[in-house]
């Protein structure tokens, strides 16, 4: 098999999977809401405003008729730098340090807008609204100091993505000691990503490693999609100063059509080649969540809660990508048409546990009330 035939085979796989398996640390941004985060996210047993839709919808039973407007900006700055070990023509390993790539996020307020209506009889609350997921849409430059970015194979841009959740929830207090609640929501939107991959073969059969002439640019567009999920919870009140809360959120499965557009490398080898088709199907499973908390109210203005949250990210073990009649055609040295195969992109996420301790204290100041909050997680 000659170099061009190897290239034909390698490119067919690279279009769908530009990176190999990697192990890395996790990156956590934030839980939701101004008030809950003031308590370090310990808001499962003590939920009693419209923010309960996320932490424990049973808390809606104690929420008066109200409207919650909450906006958050996630500011993420990052630096990327790597070291390469390259074997030269004399079989000597040379260490090459890349330039530093700086990533940033746009100023984009992430809203939570929830309306709640409380019925005194039968002590029932109905809430509806929408909110944006807390995701930092980081972007990275395509060039650094006039040269192609060394992060172009690893860090893609999601700046053009648009995603939101919309849902409805109910909270009910059938007795003085029990609150139950639940809701359904749908993750809706379109996810767009751009990332480069190299089709240069190993052992310098075509050119130097990461030679820009052999870079291909892929653009993924997943959706528009609608991915439903649900959550439910309960709050037990064994004593007027003690609350115990439990809640769970089902996993979310994105099972959607997608577009995969590929700009082939600028090398003359690809002058006559092209990618036929752009339709594909993508399936992604996102984490379910289990929460538990105990809140004590030793005196009326003071609340203290200890909570545990488990996010089942092991469900996000892979991304399934299935092209629909996509193929590379007219590639020199290869078959007339190379049909792109289905592929599973490994993700291998792990479950995460968090322990939270939060408190709030209400201070009367003339005719106003000042609430101070603190927490650790």
The pLDDT tens digits along the chain (377 residues) read 444 443 444 445 444 444 444 444 455 667 888 899 999 999 999 999 999 999 999 999 999 999 999 988 888 777 777 776 766 667 777 777 777 877 777 787 889 999 999 998 888 999 999 998 887 777 777 777 777 776 666 666 666 778 899 999 999 999 999 999 999 999 999 988 777 766 665 555 555 566 777 777 778 888 899 999 999 999 999 999 999 999 999 999 999 999 888 777 777 777 788 888 889 898 989 899 999 999 999 998 999 999 999 999 898 888 888 888 888 888 777 778 878 788 777 778 889 899 999 999 998 887 788 999 999 98
Distance between CA atoms of residues 262 and 11, nearest Å: 11
Containing structural domain, residue 62 = 3-376
Indicate the number of domains in the chain: 1
Structure tokens, 207: 């050119």
Q: Tell me, what DSSP letter sits at residue 334?
A: S
Token pair for 260: 């995969």
> Dihedrals φ, ψ of 77, to 5°?
-120, 140
| pLDDT value, residue 206 | 55
As a whole number of angstroms, the longest Cα–Cα distance in the chain is: 85
CATH number at residue 41: 2.40.160.60
In whole angstroms, what is the distance from residue 190 CA to residue 364 CA? 47
Whole-model pTM? 0.79
Query: Residue 215: what pLDDT?
Result: 75
Q: Which long-range contacts (CB under 8 A, 24 or more apart) does 137-141 make?
A: 137/105, 137/106, 137/108, 137/161, 138/76, 138/78, 138/103, 138/104, 138/105, 139/103, 139/104, 139/105, 139/106, 140/80, 140/101, 140/102, 140/103, 141/101, 141/102
């Amino acid at each position: 098999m000659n170099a061009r035939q190897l290239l034909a085979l390698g490119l067919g796989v690279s279009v769908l999977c530009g990176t190999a398996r990697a192990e890395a640390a996790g990156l956590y941004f934030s839980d939701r809401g101004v008030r809950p985060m003031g308590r370090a996210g310990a808001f499962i047993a003590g939920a009693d405003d419209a923010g309960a839709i996320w932490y424990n919808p049973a808390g809606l039973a104690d929420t008066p008729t109200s409207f919650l407007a909450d906006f958050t900006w996630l500011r993420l700055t990052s630096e990327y730098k790597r070291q390469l070990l390259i074997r030269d023509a004399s079989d000597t390993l040379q260490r090459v340090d890349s330039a530093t790539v700086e990533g940033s996020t746009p100023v984009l307020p992430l809203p939570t807008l929830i309306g709640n209506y409380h019925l005194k009889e039968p002590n029932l609350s109905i809430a509806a609204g929408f909110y944006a997921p807390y995701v930092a849409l980081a972007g990275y430059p395509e060039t650094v100091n006039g040269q192609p970015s060394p992060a172009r194979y690893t860090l893609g841009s999601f700046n053009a993505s648009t995603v939101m959740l919309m849902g409805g929830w109910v909270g009910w207090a059938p007795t003085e000691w029990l609150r139950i609640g639940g809701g359904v929501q749908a993750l809706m939107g379109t996810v767009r990503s751009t990332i480069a991959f190299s089709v240069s073969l190993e052992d310098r059969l075509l050119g130097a490693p990461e030679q820009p002439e052999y870079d291909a640019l892929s653009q993924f567009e997943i959706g528009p999609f609608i991915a439903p999920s649900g959550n439910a919870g309960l709050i037990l009140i064994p004593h007027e100063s003690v609350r115990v809360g439990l809640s769970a959120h089902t996993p979310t499965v994105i099972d959607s059509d997608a577009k995969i557009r590929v700009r082939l490398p600028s090398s003359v080898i690809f002058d006559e080649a092209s990618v036929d088709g752009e339709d594909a199907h993508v399936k992604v499973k996102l984490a379910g969540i289990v929460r538990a908390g105990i809140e004590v109210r030793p005196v009326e203005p003071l609340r203290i809660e200890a909570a545990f949250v488990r996010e089942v990210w092991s469900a996000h073990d892979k991304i399934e990508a299935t092209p629909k009649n996509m193929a590379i055609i007219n590639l020199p040295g290869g078959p007339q048409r190379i049909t792109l195969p289905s592929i599973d992109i490994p993700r291998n996420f792990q479950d995460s546990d968090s322990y939270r301790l939060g408190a709030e204290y209400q201070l009367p100041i003339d005719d106003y009330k000042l609430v101070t909050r603190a927490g650790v997680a």
